[in-house]
Structure 1
């Protein structure tokens, strides 16, 4: 049975939640020269400062009479996009209805909405994908329309059809457009007929035997791309570089597509070796008008999923930019498109030719960068056209001001192949939003990032007069974005924003692989000042009563007793996933104090000369902040102590994990267990035990007890946070124990398979 939370009071609805950054799409008003190849841009007429001061550009000169907007809508989503839609609805005086699963009962979007209803258990198939329950909530609450956000049901034509049958408005495109553009094969036929160039390949809307796909792949030639016919987000997509790789890649892509989209059909197309991913934001209304709101570059990706986006796309000539927009508008008109959509193109870096890739029939994750350079609220545009009103602006009226970046902050470990992470947001501190900086938040401190959903935590959006300024603002914001409690990609994003090739606009979808060495520089041991600050934090927070007292009678003597001097030793180990060059390296810190607040600190790192800091003044200025003077320079360092600690090795755990935020960088330190436990753990690790790297669903078990296996052979396939993870044998041997089966939910660290090493 659906459960309803208490309806919020209208007065409360007008107060922004303290964890939600101010959404300010406005930026400096510029009178710039015509577009240049460095990414800066011009606009024929700047919007007034008074218009920008209201956060989003007011819709100008709408023809009268306008149809009224909805009075109440339901948001069939969660996280930051649900919060994003709620903010625009508040601005427009529209009441909102949230839905949630059991684990999201106290989520931010639930707290922000006027009403909230529980849909069911945590798995999305039992909650956020339950069309019948969502329709029931909409009718019970009196919602007139449903905003699907992105993901979940946002591109589900059956959902849109059901809403129409129930007399509810789907805030999205028409059903036929969704079906046509949702099929990658059908959409290519439509695009070719409309004069939009497409990548050479083989596609059909009918199921195709494996033998036929294999024959077509041979005919097309390698490398090629296997891609799910339905869906997006990199799901069901595999790059194949030789005939030997084709069948395993096809099987994996079909399996992932079936789970993600309930359809295992795939197509194949030529793989362009140096492609850029450039997409165009389009909008259509019910009168047949379609406009382009300029393009975005989304080339930097991992696992075929975007990680940083920018608008406009840098380095494009005016001719290419206009051609992209014209072709995108033609694509939308070909299917009588309504609402927000994105036409995605592959741009060949070697020829500057571009090809239609697909159309996403929804609002994109990266829509804020378009809002920042145009000053428009795209959610408001969605509500206007869904209500039957015309587009707010004509093509020639759409501004293009400056440059914007969006960085997606994910719960994942980039140094561990970007595998997603789950757990609590133990600590979270974000930069202050401003006219040039926007935060899209959905999970405040204390939230739990669940295994059932996408690992996106939030988005940081920066705007500047040109690309250089926007990138500087983004990098500074990332340095001030602190998260502890689970792994995130913040440090990686900082490295990316400061990368010379990225700064130099050397963009293509293979950027991360090509520049891996620079993006993941070797990490040996923590800097001495970081270790000193960590030791001071532990000393001041955990042992305040053991420090010398100002009232001690020994302080009046010329020669004080030795017992009046307090000395403490600390041992630290960097996170082994980060310090892969020497994961067992131990750093030692000795802190000596003879006066309250005054310390001598010696740091010994492996294979380095000791570093000593004399007469360090230090104090705790907050439960997480140490203020000190190291080498005559006052520094404020945030240290977050995480307990209980995670498992680092199969049989050994640390007593504590410290996250140190110091001078724009984060360092994670472990207080290591005794050496004898580490030795036992090392022996276990070499025995062929395969464990779950995170809470996961077991998708497939490829071995049985007694099977002989070879090193590198696939043993277990897991799925976590919409990502498939393949676990392989580390040794040749015989399977001794199989501790899981297909369909099991397994916790982090659970022994899945044990392999007896065969010499």
Structure 2
């Protein structure tokens, strides 16, 4: 990239989901036309409709669409785009793709391919940072696959525990913790194998493991005129499996000396590699306050909105202006933060089930109007098994950290969500946790407190009332579906003494609701599991039920889709599944079977028909939503059937194995 100025007229976003929507919004505000590329699975996605034009580039698998640089460039030519924005993920940190975009005569909205290549290798990045005087953790480069005496001496000098880390990629793949010398060889071999499979590069290195660290990063901007700007840092310590959940800016309870040292190190890093564009320098902070370089992300970060909020800047606009050859404007040069911003990533996953990703239709997706929501889904969208399960980023900016955390937790509580399970309840519990407010947390906090954090928000004494509300809403919907039913009092029966019943199960424990309405529609009896609720019914429609509880009026919003029901209150949500009075035996899985928890592809089959297996033993590995999931047996016995093979696509609920007693 040089300092010559040009004008971008039409941007193709080589990405999908919320980041594509986000980039399109800025382009639209600036009067720049937009082009989306999409897979067959995303043909009806919101980001496709948000663009001025859209081009189909392949099938649902990322390797057949979003990772096909040639197809993206051809789409840009076909749609008349003159610039390509990569977003994050997919091809955003591919030096080869960036070079191909430039070779095609298009403008690349990002740093130079040489910069991406240099920083894409964590080994080369460490070496470059050391030369620039940026503090790095003690480590050792592994130039071959042999764990010899010299490497063992280097590992001993680094100190245990240590990490074996992949040089390429991220997200925790190709990373192994080593507690002592005995585990070094196997950890190196395992990390090499995973890194090679995930990133096409088996290179790994050793690095000291910082116990109980914080994760803090610094946003940088560089223009083609040689100016480097350092923006306020972001704290990304709240994580699970090396994936960020909550991010905030500025970093709380950070010593001013440490803050200044990190800013200086980030500036030195950017200047050392002549950085042009938006990027992030990531650091790990040890409990004593030492800050050490982790990596440079040569792209826009998922969590960029918190920086935008405290700086009153649009980072996507700045990316575009830098790509056009403009100098950074004064307001974007080393700005100071105003107030505090916190972002929560709402992901379709079940924290209580080892973070199992969730898929399926989104029936309802709405948030309060006073918060920023960057989302790639809406009511009616489908969460696909092919891609990351991030649904939205919810962002709040307030004068203080306490105010921001309180408002964000409240917005998450009040969100009207019906569809795949999310980590919403866990996010609220994190934001309200005393350790979060005291800044007494580290990257292990979520893992250590998962039993507490993964509990449902809705209190146990509220669940019977929520189930009762679901039953009354279903009854109201059935009445409304029959034209004559609107003329008959709700719950009218020829034999009024007999109650109506509705049984639920699913995500919650089984629950049975019995109710009776008199001939005027008034509530005559309401019991849950045989216990009278002692409430007064104020109103009941298909979507809203109001009870008076001990003199207090409480509202329960109800959403239904097929046999699934979601009851939402400001105090939490309850998901139920209606039990059929006449279940179809054909729908039941064979006894002793293990089924696919979500749609995916069979990666490995670990047993054969006739093998003896024990309860809890891993038998099949399924890949879905960029993660591998081990399927285990529920019972001990002999493998009687294996109806799947490696490479098979399986639907949610598909039988993978049958174990005979």
**Aligned-pair CA distance for 1:613:** 2.9
Match of 1:533 among 444, 469, 472: 469
The answer on 1:588 being equivalent to 2:507 is no
SS class of match (1:239):
strand
Query: 2:646 matched to 1:742?
Result: yes
Whole-angstrom distance in 1 between the partners of 2:227 and 2:342? 28
State whether residues 496 and 516 of structure 2, in contact with CA within 8 Å, keep that contact through their aligned partners in structure 1.
Answer: no
Unaligned runs of 5+ in 2: none
Change in Cα spacing, 1:214 to 1:702, as seen in structure 2 (3 Å) is farther
Structure 1 residue 534: deviation in Å? 1.4
TM-score normalised by structure 1 residue count:
0.80
Instruction: Call closer, same or farther: CA 1:706–1:240 in 2, change over 3 Å.
Output: farther
- 2:440 is matched with which residue? 506
SS where residue 307 of structure 1 aligns? Answer: strand
The correspondence for 2:324, drawn from 348, 373, 387, is 387
**1:274 aligned to which of 191, 212, 216:** 212
Pick aligned residue for 1:286 from 221, 224, 241:
224
The match for 2:537 is 616
Of 88, 95, 101, the residue aligned with 1:157 is 95
Query: How far apart are 1:612 and its partner, in Å?
Result: 2.9
Shift of residue 292, structure 1, vs aligned partner? 0.9
Could you report, residue by residue, the CA deviation over 1:658-691 in whole angstroms, capped at 9, with x for unpaired residues? 111023311112233569999x97992xx3x332
Matched, 1:228 2:149: no
TM-score by length of 2: 0.92
Structure 2 residue aligned with 1:142: 80
The Cα of 1:220 is off from its aligned counterpart by: 4.3
User: 2: distance between equivalents of 1:421 and 1:549?
Assistant: 38
**SS at 1:298's partner residue?**
strand
1:450-501 Cα deviation digits (max 9, x unpaired): 1111101111000110100000110111012122121111111112111111
Shift of 1:549: 8.8
Aligned-partner Cα distance in 2 for 1:700–1:611: 51
Aligned: 1:473 with 2:394: no
Distance in 1 (CA, whole Å) between partners of 2:224 and 2:196 is: 34
Residue 724 of structure 1 aligns with which residue? 628
Q: Distance in 1 between matches of 2:103 and 2:583?
A: 67
Match of 1:426 in 2: 363
Cα contact 1:411–1:489 (8 A) shared by 2: yes
2: distance between equivalents of 1:219 and 1:692?
45
| 1:428-447 per-position Cα deviation (integer Å, ceiling 9, x unaligned) | 22211x3xx21101111111
| Mapped partners of 2:583, 2:38: distance in 1 | 47
TM-superposition CA deviations, 1:318-374 (whole Å, max 9, x none): 11111111101111111111101111101012x110111111110000000000000
Looking at structure 2, the residues matched to 210 and 676 of structure 1 have their Cα atoms a distance apart, in angstroms, of 59
- 1:662 partnered with 2:569: yes
1:600 alignment partner, one of 516, 524, 527: 524
Are 2:602 and 1:698 aligned?
yes
C-alpha RMSD of matched pairs (Å) = 2.9
Select which of 399, 402, 426 maps to 2:336.
399
Q: Is the 8 A contact 1:103 1:121 kept in 2?
A: yes
Residues 523-532 or 375-384, more deviating: 523-532
Q: State how far apart, in whole Å, the 2-side matches of 1:407 and 1:613 are.
A: 38
Instruction: Give the Cα–Cα distance (whole angstroms) in 2 for the partners of residues 164 and 561 of structure 1.
Output: 74
State the partner residue of 2:418. Answer: 484
* Residues 676/346 of structure 1: CA separation in 2 closer, same or farther (3 Å cut): same
What does residue range 248-267 of structure 1 map to in structure 2 within 5 Å?
250=188, 253-267=191-205
Asked if structure 1 preserves the Cα contact closer than 8 Å seen for 2:535 and 2:547, the reply is no
- The change in CA–CA distance for 1:724 and 1:395 in structure 2 (over 3 A counts) is same
Q: Deviations over 1:248-289 (max 9, x none)?
A: 655554444334322222222221111111000011111221
What's the CA shift for 1:390? 1.2
Cα 1:528–1:71 change in 2 (3 A) is same
- Report what 2:545 is aligned to: 626
Q: 1:727 to 1:526 in 2, by over 3 A?
A: farther
Tell me the CA shift for residue 172 of structure 1.
0.6
- Partners of 2:488 and 2:45 in 1: how far apart? 50
Give the direction of change, closer, same or farther, for the CA distance of 1:223–1:712 in structure 2 (3 Å limit): farther
Equivalence map 1:304-343=2 (5 Å): 304-343=242-281
Aligned to 1:520: 454
Pick the aligned partner of 1:639 from 527, 551, 558: 558
Q: Give the Cα separation in 1 of the matches to 2:557 and 2:53.
A: 37
* Distance of 1:382 and 1:395 partners within structure 2: 11
3-state DSSP of counterpart to 1:398: coil
**Worse-matched range after superposition: 699-708 or 242-251:** 242-251
2:309 to 372, 391, 401: 372
CA distance change for structure 1 residues 207 and 733 in 2, over 3 Å: closer, same or farther? farther
Give the aligned partner of residue 542 of structure 1: 478
Pair 1:93–1:517, CA change in 2 (3 A): same
1:282–1:293 contact (8 Å) kept in structure 2: yes
1:214–1:446 Cα change, 3 Å = farther
Q: Which moved more, 1:249-258 or 1:319-328?
A: 249-258
Contact 2:110 2:276 in 1 (8 A): yes
Cα offset for 1:66? 9.3
Alignment of 1:163-174 (within 5 A): 163-174=101-112
Give me the whole-angstrom Cα distance separating, in 1, the residues matched to 2:487 and 2:34.
59
Deviation at 1:550, TM superposition (A): 7.9
Q: 1 or 2 for the larger relative contact order (CA 8 Å, sep ≥6)?
A: 1
What SS does the aligned partner of 2:251 have? Answer: coil
Change in CA separation of 1:211 and 1:752 when aligned onto 2, cut-off 3 Å: farther
Q: Deviations over 1:71-125 (max 9, x none)?
A: 1111100101000000100111111111111111111111111111100111111
Shift in Å, 1:551: 8.1
User: Does residue 457 of structure 1 match 2:391?
Assistant: yes
Partner Cα separation in structure 1 for residue 286 and residue 532 of structure 2:
52
Q: Describe how 1:558-573 pairs up with structure 2 within 5 A.
A: 563=495, 567-573=499-505
Q: Hey, what's the Cα distance between the residues in 2 that align with 1:446 and 1:213?
A: 59
**Which residue, out of 490, 493, 496, partners 2:430?**
496
Partner in structure 2 of residue 31 of structure 1: none
Q: Is the 8 A contact 1:597 1:617 kept in 2?
A: no
Q: 5+ unaligned residues in a row in structure 1: which ranges?
A: 1-64, 553-559, 577-584, 644-655
